[in-house]
Amino acid sequence: MLSIDLTGKRAFVAGVADDNGYGWAIARALAAAGASVCVGTWPPVLGIFQRLREKGRLDFSLDGGGEWSIEKVYPMDAVFDTPEDVPEDLHDDKRYRGLSGFTIQEVADAMASDFGSPAIDVLVHSLANGPEVSKPLIDTSRAGYLAALSTSAYSLVSMVRRFGPIMRPGGAVVSLTYLAGERVIPGYGGGMSSAKSALEGDTRTLAYEAGRRHGVRVNTISAGPLASRAAKAIGSIGNMVEYYEVNAALPACQTADDVGRAAAFLCSPLAAGITGETLHVDMGYHAMGMVAEDQLGSDGD
């Protein structure tokens, strides 16, 4: 039987802070396929995440029974590439107090120290943030626009650059994008649409460069909307989900697990010939050119 088997592989999933987002679903799918999973969590929410984990309030269940576990949690702030990039006053921020080693390079170094090098086979970028996402693009400040690109797009470049040397040849990188990188999605502002466009373009270029330099594949998943905690920053997220449920080619909205399983496939030997791809996991919504037929009226006019 053909199956996804990641036994003996190690994954690092950046951007996990709770158990209801795409990052968690991807981590769970990778674990279900047999991989050991480490996660990177944004320092300001690390304490909450760790407490939820310790109190057993995170859902580690697997379909069909059993549970998975996190091998190790690393604090990671993808805005900073190296320790030199961290401003001095950040160390006085109570959310970062007592923390160190949270830049992208330091996390890569820590994993190499913890597990040897090469240390990982799978690298997942589940990171996005736009401080002005609720603003139309035309009203977005330069600082807000650049912040969206830094966290949501350049961080992938930095992660591939710094984790690539500790990845085993044949490994895979997967990130998450959204249809706003291709088409206009009203309400998805603050430069986030530009960041997703950049992420998709960078995926193609990194597929070539990282493929030749490190022998790894780089793909991205264009997932439909999900009413996760992180997505609440988009005020219209509920309306977006409802619109997909009515107008997608399959009349539903994809689940987090749909995306998790697609990511596991892309990271597996079954996808050995796929790189530089943007895979849509949105119940076919991206293929639609107008609203669904039943929205046009009973006479079809």
User: Residues 13, 38: contact at Cβ < 8 Å?
Assistant: yes
CA 135 to chain centre: 22
- Which of 154, 188, 244, 285 is the catalytic position? 188
Tokens at 4, concatenated? 């996804």
Q: Please indicate whether residue 188 is annotated as part of the active site.
A: yes
Q: Please indicate whether residue 96 is annotated as part of the active site.
A: no
Query: What strands lie across the sheet with 217-223, from one edge to the other?
Result: 72-75, 36-41, 10-14, 120-125, 167-177, 217-223, 278-281
Tokens at 237, concatenated? 């997220």
Place of tokens 């969590």: 41
Distance (Å, rounded) from C-alpha 241 to C-alpha 282? 10
- Which of 22, 74, 96, 178 is the catalytic position? 178
List for the chain the helix, strand, coil content (%; round to 5): 45, 15, 40
Place of tokens 């990982």: 120
Which residue numbers are catalytic?
A: 178, 188
